[in-house]
Amino acid sequence: MSEGAYQRLWESSHVTLQKLLDQEQPLLEPVPDQERQSFQYRLASLYLHYLGLLRRFDTVYDQMVQPQKRRLLRRLLDGVAGRVLELKDELVRADLCETHCLDRVLQDLKLTTVWKGYLQRKRTQQDRRMEMEFIGMLPSPNQVEHLSIISQASLVEDVRRLRQLEKEEEFRAAMVKAHDSLVETEGPDMKEKMKEQIRQWFIECHDLTGRFPDYPDASSGGSYSIFADKTPEQVRMELEMQVQENKKKEQEKSKEKGKDEKEKKKKKGKEEKAKKGEVDAVLQVLPSKCIPMISAGHEEYLNTWKNRCESIHPSQNYDSETLQEEKRKEVELEIRIQVDELMRQELRNLRLAVDKEEERPLRAPKKTPGKKTGKKKEKDLTPNRSVESLYEELVISGLLRKSESVALKDYIGDFLYLGSTLSLAKKLPMPSLFDIRQNVALYAVLRLGSPDIHTMAPLIRSILLVGPSGMGKKMLVKAVCTETGANLFDLSPANLLGKYPGRNGAQMMVHIVFKVARLLQPSVIWIGNAEKNFYKKIPKEDKEMDPKRIKKDLTKALQLLTPGDRVMLIGTTSQPQLAEMRGLCRVYERILFMPRPDYASRYVLWKRMIEARGIQPTQHLDISALAKVSDGYTPGHILQAIQSVLSERRFLQLSKRPLVASEFLGQLVKLDPVYREEEESLKDWYFKTPLGKKSMKHRMDQLEAEEAKLAKEKKKRK
């Protein structure tokens, strides 16, 4: 694609963004619980539109060359990604489920009237071309030429990325040069002008009020508030109003304590009424932290780049005028800080010389006795240790290890196509492998990948992956580390055997791990067999490792993580039934259930895994039959069967003896599948989790409401 194509994609993306911003306001209005389905539909539609917009912005950011545009695009990317995560959180609250059936919404968004016409014209052109090729009027497309075109397009993209680096280096050098030039040429004049304006303000205030004004402190903007087109009296009044407001706030705090108690009583009453069914529950989207950032970026695009003639800048160099304006503001702020310090001293001298006022030392405000607010700060148990020494200690002890390189896209699975159909039939749809991968990308990869996104998005400190053995739980942990470049810390009970013994040793170990994880973020702390930390009753074979010894310290350390700390705890378990539910759910904020793969996912698994071995499936290999027969087997089982069959010797025989489905059946028989009883046991456990309970309660309420409705209709007929 050319520069103009990416420019048009950027422009069309902002048109879409404007429409989405217009749709945000209606979602803030409360909706009764009876309209939950329409509310879910609107949320899902907005979520999908933002997801599409995120991909378009990502494509433009990857290939845009102009450095100033890329900076704006990066802010928009972070803002839109944060909004996607916020909407995902809202969908979980509305659906009462970690996975969502979006097939009905996608189907409604798939074909518009314009697109139908375009699609039909495209099909007509293809039919015409095939006919011309058949009668020999046009040459048939060559596969080699097609591959060469693809490789050439990939090469062009790589060249554009190299140009990005060149333009970025030029822009950074120009930023330093512009800053230094402005400091030398305009800096002295700025300083003198500011001094004269502040002195004039001193004199005018003294003439009007009979005393010199109080100089604004740095926290309130310093002398910047003086130059906001206000008279000296107005500035003085504002300063006095701030003092009065501070006094009022102190008085209001004491009043609020009494109000809080009354509000708590009211809330309890409302909750009791809601339980009895007297008050209808309402659905409402929480205010967004990302919308202001997105709106500011969109406004900057409209003011700076929308009406700009790009034909004048074919080389996509930086805009020197825009750069000068930005740097002038930075230089002015730097000089203002210096001037403020000088003028504060000059004001002290004026007060002493003219009004004979001596500056009184400021007294520290008295601490009012009462309850302590805020969270306790973590006590540093290793204050004199360097990060390097702690890192080395963790590596030697085996708690910090190098993660294998695994791409998230290698976790193969297909979309759940009949989710909405199953929901309408009052059947509970289970998440597909694609849904699991999508949730891991949203909960872990996006948050750990960007500091800004982590700060804006709803805070998620921990994830628990629950599913039978062979579902790829460890693979997903490695994929998160690979995609985000995160450090991998292993706190699995088996890995802690004989390390940091004793109560103090466990406390020190957890402290060092979380300290290094925060200092060298992004970081992933993995706990395999996570149920062992919360055993209801420790088995005899596990008593030696004392799996519950880090339970309390782990809970405390997690609570100290705040927005901006890109550290995530990921637990994996295949037997969560052995754990105490309350403790497990307190530590792990998000629980992702991974059931056996469905038919669509099994079909894709067989096809992709065979192709990954360098073999193209032929008509002799019935993949559909393999997908049906392998019901109950996990991706790990399917991979084992393929590796066993496709040996080097069998690979050499493919030209004479093509692959057939029966060859894999012999290997599958040797493996134990996931029996339905095991999966039902995991499902029963999942629906005892807090979110699972809410989901089941909502479904039961729906069924009761429908039964009551049918009963009323029967009475009317009688």
Q: Which of 659, 509, 691 shows the shortest CA–CA distance to 592?
A: 691
Beta-carbon contacts of residue 601 (< 8 Å; ≥ 6 apart): 412, 413, 414, 432, 433, 434
Q: Tell me the backbone φ, ψ of residue 505, rounded to 5 degrees.
A: -65, -40
Q: Which of 147, 171, 159 shows the shortest CA–CA distance to 62?
A: 159
Q: Is residue 215 over pLDDT 60?
A: yes
User: What average pLDDT does this structure show over 389-397?
Assistant: 92
Mark residue 319 as left, alpha or beta (left: phi above 0; alpha: psi -120 to 50; beta: remaining): beta
What value, to the nearest 5°, has the Cα angle with vertex 113 and ends 112 and 118?
A: 95
User: What average pLDDT does this structure show over 116-142?
Assistant: 75
What whole-number distance in Å separates Cα of residue 525 and Cα of residue 514?
Answer: 9
What whole-number distance in Å separates Cα of residue 345 and Cα of residue 44?
Answer: 59
Q: Is residue 275 over pLDDT 70?
A: no
Beta bridge partners of residue 570, listed in sequence order: 463, 526
Q: Is residue 395 over pLDDT 90?
A: yes
* pLDDT, tens only, 678-702: 989 999 999 999 888 888 888 888 7
Q: Which of 486, 477, 512 shows the shortest CA–CA distance to 566?
A: 486
Sheet bearing 462-466, strands edge to edge: 400-401, 487-490, 523-528, 567-573, 462-466, 590-593
pLDDT of residue 277: 42
At 506, the amino acid letter reads A
As its CATH architecture, domain 599-677 has Orthogonal Bundle (1.10)
Query: 């429409």: which residue's tokens?
Result: 19
pTM for the structure as a whole: 0.79
User: Alpha carbon of 273 to those of 269, 280, 671: distances in Å?
Assistant: 6, 9, 54
What band does 210 get if pLDDT is binned at 50, 70 and 90?
confident
Q: Which letter does DSSP use for residue 229 in this model? A: T
Average pLDDT in the chain: 83
Contact 378, 560 (CB under 8 A): yes
Biggest CA-to-CA distance, the chain:
108
- Helical residues (DSSP H) of 135-230, grouped into ranges: 143-185, 187-209
- Helical residues (DSSP H) of 277-318, grouped into ranges: 291-300
Contact 492, 527 (CB under 8 A): yes
pLDDT of residue 371: 46
User: Alpha carbon of 635 to those of 329, 408, 612: distances in Å?
Assistant: 58, 15, 14
Contact 525, 403 (CB under 8 A): no
Beta bridge partners of residue 186, listed in sequence order: none
* pLDDT, tens only, 321-350: 888 888 888 898 888 888 888 888 888 888
Q: Which letter does DSSP use for residue 281 in this model? A: -
What whole-number distance in Å separates Cα of residue 26 and Cα of residue 35?
Answer: 14
Contact 532, 497 (CB under 8 A): no
* pLDDT, tens only, 575-607: 999 999 998 999 999 999 999 999 999 999 999
pLDDT of residue 278: 38
What band does 279 get if pLDDT is binned at 50, 70 and 90?
very low
User: Alpha carbon of 702 to those of 37, 597, 688, 699, 705: distances in Å?
Assistant: 12, 28, 19, 5, 5
pLDDT of residue 370: 47
Mark residue 464 as left, alpha or beta (left: phi above 0; alpha: psi -120 to 50; beta: remaining): beta
Write out the two tokens for 36: 């939950």
Q: Is residue 367 over pLDDT 60?
A: no
What whole-number distance in Å separates Cα of residue 453 and Cα of residue 447?
Answer: 6
Q: Is residue 646 over pLDDT 70?
A: yes
pLDDT of residue 659: 87
Q: Which helix (H) or strand (E) holds 556?
A: helix 551-559
CB burial readout 392-415, b (16+ within 10 A) else e: ebbeeeebbeebeebebeebbbbb
Q: Is residue 116 over pLDDT 50?
A: yes
pLDDT of residue 424: 75
User: What average pLDDT does this structure show over 356-374?
Assistant: 50
pLDDT of residue 594: 92
* pLDDT, tens only, 542-571: 888 888 888 889 999 999 999 999 999 999
What whole-number distance in Å separates Cα of residue 652 and Cα of residue 98?
Answer: 46
Q: Is residue 317 over pLDDT 70?
A: yes
pLDDT of residue 95: 84
What band does 271 get if pLDDT is binned at 50, 70 and 90?
very low
pLDDT of residue 23: 87
As its CATH architecture, domain 400-593 has 3-Layer(aba) Sandwich (3.40)
Which of the pair, 706 or 313, is modelled with greater confidence?
Answer: 706
Cis peptide before 287 (omega within 30 of 0): no
pLDDT of residue 274: 43
User: What average pLDDT does this structure show over 403-410?
Assistant: 91
The pLDDT > 90 percentage for the chain reads: 30
* pLDDT, tens only, 13-56: 999 999 999 888 777 778 777 778 888 888 888 999 999 999 99
Contact 479, 440 (CB under 8 A): yes
User: What average pLDDT does this structure show over 656-661?
Assistant: 87
Q: Which of 163-172, 269-278, 413-422 holds the top average pLDDT?
A: 163-172
pLDDT of residue 685: 92
**Three-class SS of 67-119:** HHHHHHHHHHHHHHHHHHHHHHHHHHHHHCCCCCCCHHHHHHHHCCHHHHHHH
* pLDDT, tens only, 407-453: 999 999 888 887 777 777 777 788 899 999 999 999 999 999 999 99
Q: Is 16 exposed, middle or buried (0-12, 13-18, 19+ CB in 10 A)?
A: middle
Sequence ranges of the domains in the chain: 3-128+291-314, 172-241+315-358, 400-593, 599-677, 687-717
Long-range contacts of 357-362 (CB under 8 A, 24+ apart): none
